[in-house]
Amino acid sequence: MQQFEGTVLAGRSFEPIRGRVVVDDERITAVEETVTDSTDIVLPAFVNAHTHIGDSVAKEAGVGLDLHAAVAPPDSEKHRRLAAASREELVAAMGRTLRFMEQTGTAAHLDFRESGEAGTEALRAAADDAATDAFIFGSGPASVLEIADGYGASGANDDDFAVERAAAREANKPFAIHAGEPDATDIHPALDYEPELLVHMVHAAAEHLERVADEEVPIAVCPRANTVLGVGRPPIRELLDHTTVALGTDNVMLNPPSMFREMAFTAKTFDVTDREVLRMATIAGAEIADLDCGLIEAGRRAALLVVDGDSDNLSGTIDPVSAVVRRATGLDVKAVVL
């Protein structure tokens, strides 16, 4: 049995509780209010709702490039770097990224993995020794669904994914697709696939938001990557008003997969509350992929992040939720329990 004391950000509201989280056999057995001298902040470990960690072999390769030149299939700088790398290089680079994600408190990530079955198998190999779980949206032929957790489509303007959509439904696995990143022309076609997840939605307008709400389609947003690529700003406030929204970091070649950085950027530049941002970084992504983490409550998997509330960076902060969302970094992490 383990106990983690301090200010606990428990439940969906993340209301601070002075007390402890009791863990037994990797499950949370109790969240108790009690007197404690600990200055730690205990919160759910993060769920990164959209990543491409395959391009860990191409860090900073997209600097100065637009969306098409940097990441668009099949001839972008990203895809050239992936094609040139050996399997051993890919697995090693992804493994190092997974270790960074663990160190900075990410319990799981939802990855769009390129390169078909070989790409999915390479990420499985990298994740074998990692504490951070990989939920893999595979690509390429529909047969990838035999080993992937779902299917990840590049975009409705890139190809026809009717066969893959049908195969995902037959396999009872989620179908996810990029939409509304360069412009709005692929949003309605993406929604026509009846996806379980949309990614980006930078150019979503009222007509798209109404349809998203009616069809209850969750969305993963990646505001830092959108900024780096110059495609615009996702309308996060409007998206939140219509559906579940989760936070992702997108391509490793563009940004480190740090949920601390993503949260701070989102909280400081969009019309959202700090609690909404923390929810986007934890339980929202977990529920999209049906993962048993992202929340501190009895019965849940014990996926926890312990932050030093008395670090030189965080000492003197007033609101622990704001401290975690706006100010905390990987240097403030005391423990990651996965």
Determine the angle formed by the axes of helices 87-103 and 116-127, rounding to 10 degrees.
50
| CATH number for 311 | 2.30.40.10
Residues 6+ apart with CB under 8 A from 87: 118, 122
d(CA 49, CA 281): 8
Same domain, 322 and 266: no
pLDDT digits (tens, 9 = 90+) for 45-70: 999 999 999 999 999 888 888 988 88
Same domain, 60 and 117: yes
pLDDT digits (tens, 9 = 90+) for 158-174: 999 999 999 999 999 99
Same domain, 234 and 329: no
Last residue of a domain, one of 266, 288, 310: 288
> Which amino acid is it at 20?
R
- Residue 199 binned pLDDT confidence (cut-offs 50, 70, 90): very high
d(CA 320, CA 149): 35
Same domain, 322 and 307: yes
Percent of the chain whose pLDDT exceeds 70: 100
Residues 6+ apart with CB under 8 A from 177: 152, 153, 154, 155, 156, 161, 190, 193, 195, 197, 198, 199
pLDDT at residue 63, rounded to an integer: 86
Same domain, 202 and 254: yes
- The residue segments making up the domain with residue 38 are 2-45+294-337
- As a whole number, mean pLDDT of residues 208-223 equals 98
d(CA 330, CA 334): 9
pLDDT digits (tens, 9 = 90+) for 31-46: 999 999 999 999 999 9
pLDDT at residue 79, rounded to an integer: 87
Same domain, 251 and 115: yes
Residues 6+ apart with CB under 8 A from 306: 4, 6, 40, 41, 42, 333, 334, 335, 336, 337
Same domain, 101 and 245: yes
Please say if the pLDDT value at position 82 is more than 90.
no
d(CA 270, CA 124): 35
Strand-strand pairing, 40-44 and 46-52 = unpaired
Same domain, 159 and 251: yes
Please say if the pLDDT value at position 105 is more than 90.
yes
Residues 6+ apart with CB under 8 A from 276: 240
Number of domains in the chain: 2
pLDDT digits (tens, 9 = 90+) for 123-161: 999 999 999 999 999 999 999 999 999 999 999 999 999
- As a whole number, mean pLDDT of residues 325-338 equals 98
Please say if the pLDDT value at position 334 is more than 90.
yes
pLDDT at residue 62, rounded to an integer: 81
pLDDT at residue 61, rounded to an integer: 84
Q: Find out whether 30 and 45 touch, Cβ atoms under 8 Å.
A: no
Please say if the pLDDT value at position 256 is more than 90.
yes
pLDDT digits (tens, 9 = 90+) for 224-243: 999 999 999 999 999 999 99
Same domain, 39 and 77: no
| CATH number for 152 | 3.20.20.140
Last residue of a domain, one of 255, 270, 288: 288
Q: How many CA atoms lie within 13 A of 244 on its CB side?
A: 19
- Residue 246 binned pLDDT confidence (cut-offs 50, 70, 90): very high
Same domain, 134 and 236: yes
Same domain, 78 and 132: yes
Tokens 């395959």 correspond to 54
Same domain, 93 and 169: yes
